[in-house]
C-alpha cells in the first residue's frame, strides 16, 4: 500500500490501547479489497474499564462550567476542521466514498459539534408560579453515561451526532463505532482529547457487535442507549434496553419514496433525485429509493435519470474525477445483485448498469430499473445501494398509499410546482423527514428522525440535545 492508514486503537480512560486479549479484525479498503490495518476488539474487561472510566468522566464533565465545556468542544471542532483533509483520506481508505465527499463530511461534523456546544447554553429550565412560600422549578440535567452504537456508512457523521449531543448535554459516553471504519472514529476522538476533554468523558471501543451491545446495555452505569443502523438490529437493542427500563434513541432504516407529480419539471426532478440517489453509493438511510412518477412525465423523467446515472464516474475514491466510490463491503454488492435479479425475474427492465464490473473492489454501477412491479423485493426492502426502481402512477392518492404502505417512515420526497399539492404531500407522507422539490440532507439546526419502524427520537436541532437530558421537578418550601 502506498497510502498511510493510522493503526486504530481504542480510547479508554484517556489512554489509547489495544484490547487486553489481543483480538483484532482486518480493516479493508473497499476499492482494492486489500487489508489496510487491524482494529482491536474489546474484551469484557476492556468494556468494564470503559464503563468505570465513563462514570468518573461523567462526574468531572458535568461539573465543568458550561463556558469551559463549550470552549473545549469548539477547540475540538477547530482541530477537526484543520484536519479535514487528513480525516477525509482515512475515511476514503476504509469506507470508499470519494475524497471530496469524505472531506465534506469531516467539515460538516465539525459544524455539528459547534452547533450542539452552543445549543447546550440554551438548555433552559423554568420557574413555575406556585403557592406563596414555595419555589417550584423545572431543571434540565444530563442523563448520565451513554452507550452508543454507530454504523459504517457515515464514519464521521454518525458517531459525531451522538458524541456532540451527549457531551454538549454534559453526559459521558462509551461509543462502539464500526469495526469496518474505525480510523475515522479514532481521528474524531483524538481531536476531542487534544482539545482538553476530561479523561473518561469519551470512551471509544470496537468489538463483536452482539457481545459489546449486550454488555454495555445491561451495565448499571448506562442510563441511555443510542443507535443508528438497521431496523432488525434496532429492535434487538431496544428490547434489551427495555428489559433494563432504559430509554433509547433509535435512527433506523428507511425506504424513502419520491413522488413526482404531474405539474413537476421532470428533468429537474430527475437530476436532483439522481444526485441524491448515488451519493455515498446509495448507502444512506434517507436515500431516495422508490421513484413514483406521474405517467405523463414517466418517459422524460426516466431518460433524464438514466442520463444522470451514466454521467456518474465510478472508481477509487482517492482518484481524481471520481464521483461515486465502491460499496463499503462485499455484503452490499451481493445484495444489489440479488435485488436486480429478482426485479428482472418479475418483469423489470434494466435501463443502465445492473451488473458488477470485472475489477477488484466492491463496485456496483449506478443502476436504473423501469417497469418494476409492486411485489419486487426492491420495492419493499431497503436497497441501501445505487439501484433506482422507477414506476408510474396516475392518481396522487394512490401514490401516497403506495408510499406509505411499508413499515418504514424515515424520509420522503416530493416534486410539484403547486403549493396546494405540496401541502397534500406534506400532510399525506408518513415520514419524519420531508423535502419538497429537492433531496436535501441533514442540517445541524433541524431535527432528523423517523416514525413507524424507522425509529424514535431525533438528532439535530434543539430536539437532538433534548434526548440526552432528563427533566427534574423541584419544589422548595421556603423559610423552613
* Burial call 409-420: b when 16+ CB within 10 Å, e when fewer: bbbbbbbbeeee
In angstroms, the CA 181 to CA 185 distance is 7
Most distant CA pair in the chain, distance: 81
Cell 434543539 belongs to 462
Residue closest to 384 by CA, chosen among 341, 314, 421, 336:
336
Q: Is 101 a catalytic residue?
A: no
Choice among 94, 179, 251, 382 that is catalytic: 251
What strands, in cross-sheet order, belong to the sheet with 411-415? 349-352, 367-370, 387-393, 288-294, 256-260, 411-415, 433-436
Choice among 171, 191, 261, 285 that is catalytic: 285
Cell 479493508 belongs to 28
Q: Is 251 a catalytic residue?
A: yes
Residue closest to 339 by CA, chosen among 360, 355, 315:
355
Q: List, in order, residues 6 or more apart from 125 with CB less than 8 Å away.
A: 137, 138, 139, 140
Catalytic residues: 251, 285
Amino acid at each position: 500500500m502506498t497510502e498511510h492508514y493510522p493503526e486504530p486503537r481504542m480510547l479508554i480512560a484517556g489512554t489509547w490501547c489495544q484490547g487486553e486479549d489481543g483480538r483484532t479484525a482486518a480493516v479493508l479498503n473497499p476499492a482494492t479489497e486489500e487489508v489496510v490495518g487491524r482494529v482491536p476488539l474489546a474484551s469484557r474487561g476492556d468494556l468494564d474499564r470503559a464503563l468505570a472510566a465513563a462514570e468518573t468522566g461523567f462526574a468531572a464533565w458535568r461539573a465543568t462550567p458550561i463556558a469551559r465545556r463549550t470552549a473545549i468542544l469548539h477547540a475540538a471542532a477547530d482541530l477537526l476542521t484543520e484536519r479535514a483533509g487528513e480525516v477525509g483520506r482515512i475515511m476514503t481508505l476504509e469506507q470508499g466514498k470519494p475524497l471530496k465527499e469524505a472531506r465534506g463530511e469531516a467539515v460538516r461534523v465539525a459544524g455539528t459539534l459547534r452547533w450542539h456546544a452552543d445549543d447546550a447554553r440554551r438548555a433552559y429550565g423554568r420557574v413555575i408560579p406556585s403557592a406563596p412560600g414555595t419555589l417550584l422549578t423545572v431543571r434540565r440535567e444530563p442523563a448520565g453515561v451513554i452507550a452508543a452504537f454507530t454504523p459504517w456508512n457515515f464514519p464521521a457523521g454518525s458517531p459525531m451526532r451522538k458524541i456532540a449531543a451527549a457531551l454538549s448535554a454534559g453526559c459521558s459516553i462509551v461509543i462502539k463505532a464500526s469495526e469496518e471504519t474505525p480510523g475515522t472514529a479514532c481521528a474524531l476522538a483524538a481531536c476531542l482529547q487534544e482539545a482538553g476533554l476530561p479523561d473518561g468523558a469519551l470512551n471509544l471501543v470496537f468489538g463483536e457487535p452482539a457481545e459489546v451491545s449486550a454488555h454495555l446495555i445491561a451495565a448499571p452505569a448506562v442510563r441511555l442507549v443510542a443507535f443508528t443502523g438497521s431496523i432488525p438490529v434496532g429492535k434487538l437493542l431496544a428490547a434489551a434496553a427495555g428489559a433494563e427500563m432504559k430509554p433509547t434513541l433509535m435512527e433506523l432504516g428507511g425506504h424513502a419514496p419520491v413522488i413526482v407529480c404531474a405539474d413537476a419539471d421532470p428533468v429537474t426532478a430527475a437530476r436532483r433525485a439522481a444526485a441524491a440517489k448515488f451519493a455515498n453509493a446509495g448507502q444512506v438511510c434517507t436515500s431516495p429509493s422508490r421513484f413514483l412518477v406521474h405517467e405523463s412525465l414517466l418517459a422524460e423523467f426516466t431518460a433524464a435519470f438514466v442520463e444522470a446515472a451514466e454521467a456518474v464516474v465510478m472508481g477509487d475514491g482517492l482518484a481524481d474525477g471520481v464521483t461515486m466510490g465502491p460499496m463499503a463491503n462485499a455484503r452490499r454488492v451481493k445484495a444489489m445483485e440479488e435485488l436486480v435479479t429478482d426485479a428482472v425475474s418479475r418483469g423489470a427492465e434494466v435501463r443502465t448498469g445492473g451488473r458488477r464490473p470485472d475489477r477488484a473492489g466492491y463496485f456496483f454501477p449506478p443502476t436504473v430499473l423501469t417497469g418494476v412491479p409492486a411485489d419486487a423485493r426492491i420495492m419493499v426492502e431497503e436497497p441501501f445501494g445505487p439501484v433506482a426502481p422507477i414506476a408510474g402512477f396516475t392518481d396522487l392518492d394512490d401514490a401516497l398509499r403506495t408510499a406509505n404502505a411499508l413499515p418504514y417512515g424515515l424520509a420522503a420526497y416530493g416534486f410539484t410546482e403547486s403549493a396546494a399539492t405540496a401541502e397534500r404531500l406534506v400532510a399525506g407522507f408518513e415520514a419524519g423527514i420531508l423535502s419538497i422539490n429537492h433531496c436535501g440532507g441533514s442540517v445541524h439546526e433541524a431535527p432528523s428522525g423517523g416514525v413507524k419502524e424507522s425509529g424514535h427520537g431525533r438528532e439535530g436541532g434543539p430536539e437532538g440535545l433534548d434526548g440526552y437530558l432528563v427533566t427534574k421537578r423541584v419544589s422548595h418550601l421556603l423559610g423552613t
